[in-house]
């Protein structure tokens, strides 16, 4: 066998050269071939199915035999993470294993603010050097700022100093400088825009906003899948990878992704990554730590303590970001190990700090963060709702991409589906899974514990009962799209975690559910869910629908507010300090509250009294 070989990935048309004995999943990950995986390549999730069209590979083991059906094995299917290549290979990636571009939520609702960024832009016009005036460029600038703007003790970042002299001489001794406090962090031509970048670093996706720091205008927005997905779709998988190996690969992967995004945002004439004078970034605590290269082991060990919780300023060049070399990255504060800066940013954008009404703000995801604002107090908790709402651990689950079932209606024997982009169904995304369970419950096809009853679309398999949503003839994969009892159980666990978190926050504040005046739902998943479905399964309290607001990517809005306003940035710090974090697992009676919330029985899920 040759020591060098190639793998042809179809239908992508990608040909990758590698070493004999290489792991197919790792080859795909290193070259950014999008193979689905929730376990990060450990062989436990069964998502990275590929079909070996030709070539020699390592023999299968028992894990593959458990994950694949007899029919799939006969057709040449393997798990990429458990398969090594022995010579030239042709691999077919089935559509359900191919990571495609997900619908990324960029827009969000939030309050406005006065533009008052932490970065101060000053256009300078310096006198030319002469034999009579041989002051250095550095002294010439600092004395100008002292005389004309009353600024003393100014120092210039070394990287900026290297550029400043060139810019001044090329532009008639005029330049635009950016000051962060008393430090000059950027130098540009006088007519250039001074740019800032706000970014919401999510577990699944990244949303970024390029901004004019002097006007507050959003110049460009763009989203992408978080490339760390190649190391695991959920936070715990990535932390485990960082513990088993090191966090450097995860840190470099996400920074490289951000740099690609920055390049695309700055592709218009007159825009350049070098013009970005500051970055404001929010994310959950794990994403925050992995981005900065901080240790993460302690995040999954009781008492779940973050390495850092205060707002931080870090030189962008120290992280590897392709922006102005003197620029800083400002990361907003975290609240706790599982309530991060993204939730602080959401609370900032939604105005929960200042509201007089009893309000709940929630961001539903793999980890769901909930905050109750009542009687001048803020209380937060974190629910381990799991990745079911992002399609993980669901037999035919997938992200919100083309062909994903996002709405389900059941009327007798008739099942009606709506998919993203109206494509043939290839799986279920979070909103579709929630809808399907709500419809099954409403039609009496499942009981209060999620067990499937008799119905023409229900069938028994070796693995248990399942409900057929789309037959293989109607699907886009050539296989039936089904919802299993195990899938329903995953939703049951997730909704139980969320409902019990809400109940405990209300109980601690001595507030009944019907006293909640506003219920704010943020995030990508929260944008697309049917609130009525969420109420019907007991995940959310049965409030009048007009009390609910679906505000989109409020975390991104909060990051933008922090970018263009020092006042808003300080408010984020104040919010993080004010929040009383409630650790659910330590709360007396939590197991009983959680067990009660598991039932698909909305009428008994919610406390009538505080």
Segment-wise mean pLDDT, segments of 10 residues, the chain, 610 residues? 77 81 89 77 84 90 85 88 91 76 53 86 94 94 95 94 94 96 95 96 90 94 87 84 88 95 94 96 95 94 91 96 96 93 94 87 88 94 80 80 90 92 89 94 94 95 92 90 94 93 94 94 84 94 94 92 95 95 90 92 61
Query: Given this model, what pLDDT does residue 110 score?
Result: 59
What totals of helices (H) and strands (E) does the chain contain, helices first? 18, 27
- Is the pTM here over 0.75, yes or no? yes
DSSP code string of 457-474:
TEEEETTEEEEEEE-TTT
Sequence-separated (6 or more) residues with CB below 8 Å from residue 343: 284, 335, 363, 369, 371, 380, 555
Max distance between CA atoms of the chain, in angstroms, equals: 97
Distance of alpha carbon 217 from alpha carbon 560, whole angstroms: 10
Distance of alpha carbon 488 from alpha carbon 491, whole angstroms: 5
| Two structure tokens written together for 331 | 């990361």
Distance of alpha carbon 400 from alpha carbon 298, whole angstroms: 31
Distance of alpha carbon 451 from alpha carbon 465, whole angstroms: 9
Q: DSSP E strands: which ranges in 72-180?
A: 77-79, 89-92, 119-125, 155-156, 174-180
> Strand order in 580-582's β-sheet?
548-552, 518-522, 359-363, 368-374, 377-383, 580-582
Q: How far is CA 222 from the centre of its chain?
A: 14
| Two structure tokens written together for 114 | 């006065």
CA angle 31–209–380, rounded 5-degree value = 95
Peptide bond into 515 cis (omega under 30): no
Distance of alpha carbon 120 from alpha carbon 151, whole angstroms: 12
| DSSP class of 79 | E
Domains of the chain, first to last: 4-97 (3.10.20.30), 119-188 (3.10.20.880), 196-331 (3.30.420.480), 349-383+492-605 (3.30.420.40), 388-487 (no CATH)
CA-closest candidate to residue 12, choices 93, 79, 80? 93
Residues 548 and 519: beta-carbon distance below 8 Å:
yes
Distance of alpha carbon 160 from alpha carbon 326, whole angstroms: 6
Query: Given this model, what pLDDT does residue 384 score?
Result: 80
Query: Given this model, what pLDDT does residue 532 score?
Result: 94
CA-closest candidate to residue 55, choices 94, 30, 84? 84
Query: Given this model, what pLDDT does residue 462 score?
Result: 86
Task: Give the C-alpha distances (Å, rounded to integers) separating 108 from 90, 105, 207, 245, 562.
Answer: 43, 8, 11, 37, 15
């Amino acid at each position: 066998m040759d020591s060098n070989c190639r793998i042809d990935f179809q239908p992508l048309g990608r040909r990758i050269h590698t070493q004999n004995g290489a792991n197919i999943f790792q080859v795909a990950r290193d070259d950014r071939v999008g193979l689905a995986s929730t376990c990060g390549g450990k062989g436990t999730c069964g998502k990275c199915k590929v079909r070996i069209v030709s070539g020699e590979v390592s023999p299968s083991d028992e894990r593959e035999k458990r994950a694949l059906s007899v029919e799939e094995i006969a057709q040449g299917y393997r798990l990429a993470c458990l398969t090594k290549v022995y010579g030239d290979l042709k691999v077919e990636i089935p559509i359900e294993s191919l990571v495609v571009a997900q619908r990324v939520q960029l827009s969000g609702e939030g309050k406005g603010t006065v533009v008052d960024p932490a970065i101060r832009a000053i256009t300078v016009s310096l006198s030319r050097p002469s034999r009579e005036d041989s002051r250095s460029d550095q002294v010439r600038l600092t004395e100008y700022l002292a005389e004309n703007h009353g600024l003393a003790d100014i120092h210039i970042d070394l990287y900026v100093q290297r550029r400043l002299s060139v810019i001044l001489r090329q532009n008639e001794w005029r330049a635009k400088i950016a000051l962060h406090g008393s430090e000059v962090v950027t130098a540009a031509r006088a007519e250039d825009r001074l740019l800032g970048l706000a970014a919401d670093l999510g577990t699944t996706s990244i949303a970024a906003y390029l901004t004019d720091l002097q006007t507050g205008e959003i110049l460009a927005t763009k989203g992408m899948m978080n490339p760390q997905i190649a190391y695991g779709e959920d936070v715990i998988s990535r932390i485990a990878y960082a513990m088993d190996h090191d966090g450097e690969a995860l840190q470099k992967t996400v920074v490289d992704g951000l740099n690609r995004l920055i390049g695309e945002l700055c592709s218009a004439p007159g825009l350049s990554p070098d013009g970005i004078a500051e970055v404001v970034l929010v994310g959950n605590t794990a994403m925050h730590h992995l981005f900065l290269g901080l240790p993460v082991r302690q995040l999954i060990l009781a008492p779940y303590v973050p390495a850092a919780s205060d707002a931080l300023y870090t030189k962008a060049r120290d992280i590897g970001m392709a922006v102005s070399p003197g620029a800083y990255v400002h990361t907003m504060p975290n609240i706790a190990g599982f309530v991060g800066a993204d939730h602080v940013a959401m609370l900032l954008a939604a105005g929960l700090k200042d509201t007089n009404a009893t309000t709940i703000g929630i961001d539903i995801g793999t980890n769901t963060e909930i905050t109750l604002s009542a009687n001048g107090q803020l209380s937060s908790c974190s629910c381990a709702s799991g990745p079911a709402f992002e399609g993980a651990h669901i037999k035919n689950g997938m992200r919100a991409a083309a062909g994903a079932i996002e709405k389900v209606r059941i009327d007798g024997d008739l099942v009606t589906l709506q998919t993203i982009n109206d494509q043939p169904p290839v799986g279920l995304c979070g909103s579709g899974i929630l809808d399907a369970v709500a419809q099954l419950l409403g039609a009496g096809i499942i009981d209060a514990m999620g067990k499937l009853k008799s119905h023409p679309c229900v069938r028994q398999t070796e693995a248990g009962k399942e409900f057929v949503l789309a037959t293989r003839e109607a699907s886009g994969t050539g296989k039936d799209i089904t919802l299993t009892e195990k899938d329903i159980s995953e939703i049951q666990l997730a909704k139980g975690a969320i409902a019990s978190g809400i109940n405990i926050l209300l109980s601690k504040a001595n507030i009944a559910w019907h006293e909640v005046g506003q219920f704010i739902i943020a995030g990508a998943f929260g944008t697309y869910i049917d609130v009525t479905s969420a109420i019907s399964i007991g995940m959310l309290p049965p409030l009048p629908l007009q009390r609910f607001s679906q505000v989109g990517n409020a975390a991104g809005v909060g990051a933008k507010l922090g970018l263009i306003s020092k006042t808003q940035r300080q408010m984020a710090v104040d919010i993080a300090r004010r929040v009383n974090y409630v650790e659910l697992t330590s709360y007396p009676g939590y197991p009983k509250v959680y067990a009660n919330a598991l039932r698909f029985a909305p009428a008994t899920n919610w406390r009538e009294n505080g």
